[in-house]
Amino acid sequence: MALTVLFVSGPRRSGKSAVIQQFCGAAGAPSAPHYIRITNVKGDKRQPLDARAPAKDCGVATAQWVNYDEDHVFEFLPVALRRIYHQDRHAVVIIEADADPLLRHAYPYDCRVFVMPAPHRPSEIFRTSFQAATAFKAVLDDTAAFAGEIYGLVEDDDKFDVGGTEQRSTITANELRGLINSPLGDELATRILLQPCYHGLIESDIVVVNKAIGGTSHVVDDCVRRLEKVLTHVRGQDETRRTLFCCDPQDPRDPLRDKLIRRVLNLLSTNGHTEDDPEAPV
């Protein structure tokens, strides 16, 4: 398809819709993008009564409310996008979704924006030491046998007991390093460090910490610094562009607001491929 698909996700009540409105109304934004709100049929999120027909001045060409279930998570988006493609073959489509891990790889999105509220406590984003240790054990038990089979990281598959109610792994330091440095490594680190609803920020092109919602104390600054370290580590040491914006996207006086919008529009204009931008923040 010739569509450009922007995936905006994040925890519930993080201000995703408000952030999308800023993108749609910005100078230089694509004219009348199409909007899709996707929700799980088993969740409690329900379609507003006035969402069936968007207002003429709301900034979008069409609006769809699409429900999905786990068994058909890879099928529903192509169907919804195909309907848009038949109307507008070179459109920009903005998809809004909550932080459901099933949706992270449900479609090859061109751009990803993760929106999160400013935290009141570090534990809202990062696992505690006990939680991290528990997640680490679960990661080893769940993935070591798979990694040994797929990537050849473990010579003796008998080391991993994948049967019964208890799964125990005896993995050496070298095998552990190989596991972390494998294509699974970033995903494993994410599962260990972050709370489940924040896993999607790792592969996002842009992460927005929405200061209009949530905490305003020094905790926010500390969490932002930790997140920047995580993102830099995952993306490599050559990362030169800002990917995390801690700002109020609705406040024109916020110095990072315009830079955030310009960064998103630059991604959309290049269909998800970064171009050199002399005004891109570093």
- The 3-state secondary structure of 84-125 reads HHHHCCCCEEEEEEECCHHHCCCCCCCEEEEEEEECCCHHHC
In this prediction, residues 142-147 reach a mean pLDDT of 59
In a domain, 164, yes or no: yes
The confidence band for 231, taking pLDDT boundaries of 50, 70 and 90, is confident
Domain that holds residue 61: 4-115+204-269
197: in domain: no
Asked if residue 275 belongs to a domain, the reply is: no
- More confident site: 216 or 197: 197
Q: Given a cut of 50, is residue 279 above it in pLDDT?
A: no
Alpha carbons 202 and 175: distance in angstroms, whole number? 24
Q: Tell me the residue type at 41.
A: V
Burial 163-181 (b: 16+ CB within 10 A, else e): eeeebebebeeebeebbee
Average pLDDT over residues 127-153: 68
Residue 282, pLDDT above cutoff 50: no
Q: What is the pLDDT of residue 181?
A: 67
Q: Are residues 111 and 134 in the same domain?
A: no
CATH code of the domain in which 50 resides: 3.40.50.300
On the question of pLDDT at 214 being above 80, the answer is yes
Helix, strand, or coil (residue 173): helix
pLDDT in the model for residue 178: 67
CB < 8 Å & 24+ apart, contacts of 255-264: 256/281, 257/22, 260/206, 260/208, 261/22, 261/23, 261/26, 263/206, 264/6, 264/23, 264/111, 264/113, 264/206
What is the pTM for the complete model shown? Answer: 0.79
pLDDT tens digits, 47-63? 766 555 555 556 788 99
> Is the same domain home to 52 and 111?
yes
Domain count, the chain: 2
Contact 46, 67 (CB under 8 A): no
Q: Where are the beta strands (DSSP E) in the chain?
A: 4-10, 34-40, 63-68, 92-98, 111-118, 206-214, 244-247
Same-domain status, 111 and 17: yes
Identify the domain boundary among 191, 212, 238. 191
Q: Chain-wide mean pLDDT for the chain?
A: 80
Most confident of the following: 39-48, 106-115, 211-220, 271-280:
106-115
Which of the residue ranges 18-32, 102-116, 136-150, 155-169 would you say has the lowest mean pLDDT?
155-169
Q: Residues 111, 57: one domain?
A: yes
Taking Cα atoms as reference points, which of 242, 241, 236, 243 lies closest to residue 207?
A: 243
Does residue 189 or residue 10 have the better pLDDT?
A: 10
